[in-house]
Structure 1
Amino acid sequence: MACSSDNKGSAKSKKKQTYTCSMHPQIVQEAPGTCPICGMDLVPFDKNNAVSFLTLNESQVALANISTVLVGSGDFAASKSLNGRLVVDPEQTTVISSRMQGRIENLYIKELGRKVERGQPLYRIYSEQLAVLQQEFLLAVAQAKQFPEDERFRQIEKAARQKLLLYSRTPAQLDQLISAQKTDPFVIYPAPSGGVVSELMVTEGQYVAEGGGIMRLEGYDKLWVEADAYPADLASITIGQPVTVIIPGWEEQPQNMTIQFINPSYQAGSQLTQVRGSISNPGNHWQPGLQARISIPHRQPGKSLILPVNAVIREGKGLHVWLETAKGRFEPRMIQAGAETEAMIEVLGGLETGDRVVVTGAYLLNSEFILKKGADPMTGHHHQ
């Protein structure tokens, strides 16, 4: 009986062999088999190995393409980037509408995208209403001339003249009308401002009502930059704040801009709102619709302990890096991070100047540790 008890104790103390997948180290079992994810054969590992570091020889380091960098301090200016787009400035938009009802006899601009100069003829309209007003004006002029002492006829002439002036007739044209004594029902309307034709609302031969739309002109000398922002972004954005605008394809030409407007409401069904500013666009270099990035600084430049972003491994327990503490010896270290850019991250705790941190190959070391030890490198670790 005593012998049987000793055998049981011996069996309990005997270590059990465990197995894992080299591609998916989260798969752990106590018998050989295949990975349920990728189907590869499981390999044995010693989960009782308590050593918290890895040792690699020179050939293994070269094969894993492991490179390191010394931690140091430097100038660090963090910023966040908002996705945006170039938009037409409404103040640069002119809607051309008909001053009178009539038929579009000639449409001189028939294509979208055509550039128009101020004063350039846009369309010629035939208006019976204009002919009637001209005839009334000629009659009023004749009556006022025939009865120069009658104040009533002078008022009628003045009112008829004013109506024609409201229809874009000039005093010189009215004098010519009096001289010719012949009505002209055609009017050519010039562009009140320059711009690019973005919309045509009529075709040649079409009848339009008074006030009916003819075309839309857009000026691109100045463009709005609108960007989407989440509630968390708004904490570092204020009206009047200077930012930088980068347009993909023109990264070498960053534009300075000031935040001019923050939309107080959110888009329906989303957590997005818009922030806006404007940039100059000499020579119509950019067009509305192009993508843009707004870079918003939210920390003043200063000396900080910094690392390449690629050196940091992000997991549910926090952030950690791998240190080379001796030649070929690598240990994990939990860190506390601050602000970051696309390339660099600020380290607030866990590292000191002069520590040698793995930059390339950090994720491979992480996987190797899990494969060999059967545990997360950061189990039991805390921020220093």
Structure 2
Amino acid sequence: MSLNRNGAWIAGIALLVGGAGGYWVAGTRMSVAPEMSTAPSMNSPAERKALYWYDPMYPQQKFDKPGKSPFMDMQLVPQYASGSDDRATISVDSAVMQNLGMRVATVSRSVFQTSLDVSAIVAFNERDVAVTQARTPGFVERVYALAPGDVLKANAPLADILVPEWAAAQTEFLALKRIGDKGLLDAARQRLRLAGMPSALIAQVERGGKVQPYLTLTSPIGGVLQELNVRLGMSVAAGETLARVNGLSSVWLATAVPEAQAASIAVGQAVVARLPAFPGTSFRGKVSAILPETNADSRTVRVRVELPNPDLRLRPGLTAHVTLNQRSADSVLSVPSEAVIRTGRRSLVMLAEDAGRYRPVEVQTGQESAGKTEIIEGLEEGQKVVTSGQFLLDSEASLKGIVAGDGMGKMEGQP
């Protein structure tokens, strides 16, 4: 009786020692072992053909014959061909899956709504520029109280210019008007135009009958006075730039988009901008241009956004937070972003198969949005991928020399 009791005690110890070969998680042993086929092979390891040999501490390096590892003081381990479908898998018990909190998600199709947040600086709209030049030589008789940086309304006076040549031409025009010869009068009127006299001033001379040798320079548009190159008493030459005005009816936002997201930006794309200067207010605009040059230091692409500015509140130099939204035209394959393992050289997912088996699959990823990553290549709709605990499976696969294939089971290096 005592012997039986001791035998039972020894058997219990043997069971405990035998169970120590696995991982213990929350009181449950995790047995993660590489499976070289969906079903156990009927051949012994000696009868199976080795595909290659590897060092478990450096599994990415393959060797065509057995021997000692050049990396560690240990023998190389053979990797055998599978018995049925040439796929190396890892098997995990369902109870262990629950204890580890492993979750899976289905590869599905969805329409991507991309959203990118970047910083921006408000700048002048360089397309909304007006330049005032002298049409004829003259002298500055008056300069209005203005300076660069002043905000002007349209037709605001800038300076008065005395044009001596106009006095003689206008006198001749008025004399021909008194004679009443229509042909000569039309010729004289054309001469005034060619002398650079505005049509409004010619009509004023014809209507009032008085010589008007002064030209008042005005701002063609409303905006910010950028340049004012006139001073009292100075002479001006024909074609000389006297003033430059930049409009404020619309402004540009200068943004820098990372080159990895530049492909998702398109001209005409809707934009929402928020400025710290106007909390709680959103400004809506659109992408007007994607500049061709990429910044070599920051690896960013310059994107120009145009915003309406009807009340002239937006001034160059203000900072803004810009959200660029774009909806993809077609549905694309996607998985939760947390399912993607990025190694730096490639991207992997752990594909969940039947009977608790998993295998690494290399994928080509695209854009990311709302916690999802586009899958360009490597998976098919309806397959399942691991979204929690995949790093444990990937580590086990690396230690066992399991090489990532594609979603159809083709291993790396196979045609």
Scaled by the length of structure 1, what TM-score is found? 0.55
RCO (CA 8 Å, sep 6+): is it higher in 1 or 2? Answer: 1
- Separation in 2, partners of 1:155, 1:76: 68
Tell me by how many angstroms 1:78 deviates. 6.0
Are residue 100 (structure 1) and residue 132 (structure 2) matched? no
Partner of 2:386: 357
Partner of 2:270: 244
Structure 2 segments unaligned to the other structure (5+ residues):
1-52, 62-68, 81-87, 410-415
Closer, same or farther: CA 220–344 of 1 in aligned 2, 3 Å? farther
Q: Is the 8 A contact 2:109 2:333 kept in 1?
A: yes
Partner of 2:105: 70
Partner of 2:227: 200
SS of 1:341's equivalent in the other structure is strand
Tell me by how many angstroms 1:216 deviates. 2.2
Are residue 189 (structure 1) and residue 217 (structure 2) matched? yes
Q: Is the 8 A contact 2:250 2:308 kept in 1?
A: yes
* Residue correspondence of structure 1 range 81-120 to structure 2 within 5 A: 92-104=128-140, 105-106=142-143, 108-112=145-149, 114-120=150-156
Partner of 1:4: none
Partner of 1:137: 170
Are residue 300 (structure 1) and residue 335 (structure 2) matched? no
Tell me by how many angstroms 1:245 deviates. 3.2
- Separation in 2, partners of 1:322, 1:227: 38
Tell me by how many angstroms 1:201 deviates. 5.8
Q: Is the 8 A contact 1:122 1:191 kept in 2?
A: yes
The number of residues matched between the two structures is 323
Partner of 2:350: 322
Q: Is the 8 A contact 1:96 1:214 kept in 2?
A: yes
Closer, same or farther: CA 98–278 of 1 in aligned 2, 3 Å? same
Which of 210, 216, 220 does residue 238 from structure 2 map onto?
Answer: 210
Greater displacement, 67-76 / 289-298 = 289-298
Letter in 2 for 1:358: T
Letter in 1 for 2:135: R
- Separation in 2, partners of 1:353, 1:161: 81
Tell me by how many angstroms 1:117 deviates. 0.4
* Residue correspondence of structure 1 range 151-300 to structure 2 within 5 A: 165-166=197-198, 169=201, 171-172=203-204, 178=210, 186-197=214-225, 199-200=226-227, 202-205=229-232, 206-222=234-250, 243-245=269-271, 247=273, 253=282, 255=284, 257=286, 280-284=308-312, 297-300=327-330
Tell me by how many angstroms 1:312 deviates. 1.2
Are residue 383 (structure 1) and residue 408 (structure 2) matched? yes
Closer, same or farther: CA 235–87 of 1 in aligned 2, 3 Å? same
- Separation in 1, partners of 2:153, 2:103: 61
- Separation in 2, partners of 1:279, 1:194: 17
- Post-superposition CA distance 1:128-169 (Å, at most 9, x none): xx2343255347646875xx4788986787567665843863
Q: Is the 8 A contact 1:133 1:160 kept in 2?
A: no
Give the fraction of aligned pairs with identical amino acids, expressed as a percent.
Answer: 17
Q: Is the 8 A contact 2:350 2:359 kept in 1?
A: yes
- Separation in 2, partners of 1:255, 1:109: 33
Scaled by the length of structure 2, what TM-score is found? 0.52
Structure 1 segments unaligned to the other structure (5+ residues):
1-15, 33-43
